[in-house]
Structure 1
Amino acid sequence: MKTDPVEPADLARSVISVPPLPRLASGSLSADETARLIDWLVAGGVSTFLFGGNANLYNMGVREFGALLDLLEYVTPDDGWTIPSIGADYGKASDQLDALRERDFPTAMLLPASAATTPAGVATGLRRLADRYGRPLVAYVRNEGYLAPRDLAALFEDGAICALKYAIVHTNPAVDATLSAMLDAVGSAERIVSGIGERPVIAHLGEFGLAGFTSGSVCIAPHLSTAILHALKGGDSHAAAELRAHFLPLEDLRDAYSPIRVLHEAVRLAEIAETGPLAPFLANIDDASTLAEIETASKRLRAVSKRHSG
């Protein structure tokens, strides 16, 4: 497992998968099913695993966090890199770091809080959390006004953060004043990754030059998602667009019903791993027609990915 400091090359070497977190019927974490999912990702060329929103870590308590870290250490390949997430609120993140700093993970991502924040307050929180951890964190921006560009640049310069996951949704991802302002302030895209999956990736990597991208649907089609990354690194946006088209039916369902909940069911319905129950405050999708849509889209996507693997 990667334990050395995070470098820009680490953000670009693999699609950064954002998997769901399998649980047993009892609600406890499932090491075996998580390992099955990781093995499928590795088979498709993925070596980086970010456990965050899709793993429903927003709703994980401090007492279960140590068990999660045990599991992540168990399932991570020797040459793999796993990033746990903390927060989203400052108090929980601070308490979780007490367990995390006893481990060898080189960084953790701070989940973005959805209320009771100001840009200056978020910057101060990131700085204090990094000081408590003794290592830089990954920042995650998914809403306008969450973190000011000048503060982002200062956090990078001072070593409080080692990467940014950028996930503000725009109808046209090629026109993004916020991302442009952040890049101007930071002065380089080498530590910023696209954080919204395959849909905006051509604009984010091809036009803005971001280092890499995160994906949830890579859990269904790792070979295809990896091929998109390679195509964009090679400057072939046409090939990347053709590959991306296979993801859109599932991504449309995730946008329509819930990115986290749909992916959780899709991994199970595509017969990749048994994901089990979602922890509260989320609940599994139980509508039969919705599940049928997810099953059709996920199985088709997995089949294309397997064919692409050769």
Structure 2
Amino acid sequence: MDTKPLTTETISRSVWAVPSLARNAEGILDRQENAKIIRHIEQGGISTLLYGGNAIFYHLTLAEYRTALELISTTAADDTLVIPAIGPAYGTMLDQAEILLDFNFPTVMLLPQRDVVSSAGIAAAIRKMAEKLGKPIVLYLKYDGTVTVDDATALVNDGVISAIKYAVVRKDYTQDDYLRGLTDQIDKGLILSGLGDQPAIVHMRDFGLGGFTTGCGCIFPQMSAALLKAIQAQNWDEAEAIRERFLPLERLRDNLGPISILHRATELSGIAKTGPIIPLLSEPGESVQEEIAAALQQMS
């Protein structure tokens, strides 16, 4: 895997794929099936892998955490950037940091949490983790104002932030005072649109963000890679046409659960056997799986 420090050029060179994490029938992490997912994404033109919510890193045991880090770090290609997540609980971060010291990931992402936190507290945790790991952290902003613009700016200015994944849901993505406040203070190239392919055009065109993450692009990586190229070339009609191709699966994820739908869609697409979804999430019902299969067929 690529172990060089992140730069704005690194951020913009590829879509950031956020894949599922495959397990066998007994619920144990499966090296062979995860390798299939990684190879599929890489061969589709994506060279950044972010293991966070879709991989359900929230619920890994510490033993699984080490296994997962070994798996993703040794399976990815030499030029693939791999970013694992930590947290969201502070105690979990501390334990995970001890494991991360045995690896050479260039950065990690702090999973978002809305309850039992404050902006200053999140900032303090990031500083402590960056100091302990000796590397900057990816800040994931999922909830409006959980980290203030001032606190986020101070973290960037002090060199403890490698990138910001911005994923606050809006009814109208062109209207976002929180994001506008961030882009007024922080290098836009450090901020990624973190809600998949749907708002990527608005976020990059209207706010100048440096890139975007994708879930559905883990199944259709060529489409996500083409969307990034079209946006960067300012070919807006082409970009919009590609974005619309993602709608069948994106709508299911929006309405029925982005993590569980992607997990099962990855298997139904024939890419890899992803296995059971672990608690606290649940398996989509049979009728929903039929909808997923139909959406995949429509997108192919």
Fold match (TM-score > 0.5): yes
SS in 1 for 2:113: coil
Give the deviation of 1:160 after TM superposition: 1.1
Gaps of 5+ in 1: 304-310
User: What is the match of residue 200 of structure 2?
Assistant: 201
3-state secondary structure, aligned to 1:92: helix
Once the two structures are superposed, residues 240-287 of structure 1 have per-residue CA deviations (whole angstroms, 9 ceiling, x without a partner) of 0001101011110001110000000100111111100112211221x2
Specify the code of the residue in structure 2 equivalent to 1:276.
G
Q: How does 1:70-89 map to 2 (within 5 A)?
A: 70-89=70-89
Report the Cα offset of residue 114 of structure 1. 2.8
The DSSP-based 3-state class of the residue aligned with 2:246 is: helix
Q: Does 1:295 align with 2:297?
A: no
- The one-letter amino acid paired with 1:57 is F
What is the deviation of 1:169?
Answer: 0.7
Report the counterpart of residue 181 of structure 1 in structure 2: 181
Superposed CA deviations along residues 100-130 of structure 1, whole A, max 9, x for unmatched, are 0221101000000131011111111111111
The equivalent of 2:121 in structure 1 is 121
Note the 1:267-282 alignment, pairs <5 A: 267-282=266-281
Distance in 2, Cα, partners of 1:162 & 1:219: 23
Instruction: Assess, with a 3 A threshold, how the Cα gap between structure 1 residues 87 and 60 changes in structure 2: closer, same or farther.
Output: same
Counterpart CA distance in 1 for 2:102 and 2:146 is 30
Q: 2:216 & 2:75 partners in 1: Cα distance?
A: 19
Q: Which amino acid aligns with 1:299?
A: Q
Unaligned runs of 5+ in 2: none
Amino acid at match of 1:264: H
Correspondence for 1:261: 260
Distance in 2 separating the partners of 1:98 and 1:212: 30
Q: Which amino acid aligns with 2:67?
A: A
Q: Is the 8 A contact 2:88 2:113 kept in 1?
A: yes
Q: Distance in 1 between matches of 2:239 and 2:182?
A: 25
Q: Does 1:248 align with 2:251?
A: no
Structure 1 SS opposite 2:165: strand
Q: Does 1:192 align with 2:191?
A: yes
1:292 Cα offset (Å): 0.3
Give, as a single letter, the amino acid of the residue that structure 2 aligns with 1:290.
Answer: V
SS at match of 1:182: helix
SS in 2 for 1:253: helix
Give the AA of the match of 2:253. Answer: R
| Residue 97 of structure 1, CA deviation | 0.8
Secondary structure of the residue that 1:190 maps to in structure 2? Answer: helix
Matched, 1:105 2:105: yes
What is the alpha-carbon distance in structure 1 between the residues aligned to residue 206 and residue 184 of structure 2? 14
Letter in 2 for 1:40: H
In the other structure, the counterpart of 2:163 is: 163
- CA–CA distance in 2 between the matches of 1:61 and 1:114? 21
* Partner SS, residue 207 of structure 1: helix
Q: What TM-score does the superposition give when structure 2 sets the normalisation length?
A: 0.98
Report the equivalent of 1:37: 37
Mapped to 2, the partners of 1:267 and 1:64 lie a distance apart of 21
CA distance in 2, matches of 1:6, 1:299: 37
Maintained 8 Å contact 1:269/1:299:
no
Q: Distance in 2 between matches of 1:26 and 1:5?
A: 37
Native 8 Å contact 1:141 1:164 kept in 2: yes
Contact persistence 2:192–2:210 (CA under 8 A): yes
Q: Distance in 1 between matches of 2:254 and 2:92?
A: 28
Query: Residue type matched to 2:73 in 1?
Result: E
CA distance in structure 1 between the aligned counterparts of 2:294 and 2:219, rounded to whole angstroms: 12
Corresponding position of 2:65: 65
Using the alignment, how far apart are the partners of 1:111 and 1:137 within structure 2?
11
TM-score, normalised with respect to structure 1: 0.95
Give the conservation status (yes or no) of the 8 Å contact 1:167–1:196. yes
Q: CA RMSD in A?
A: 0.9
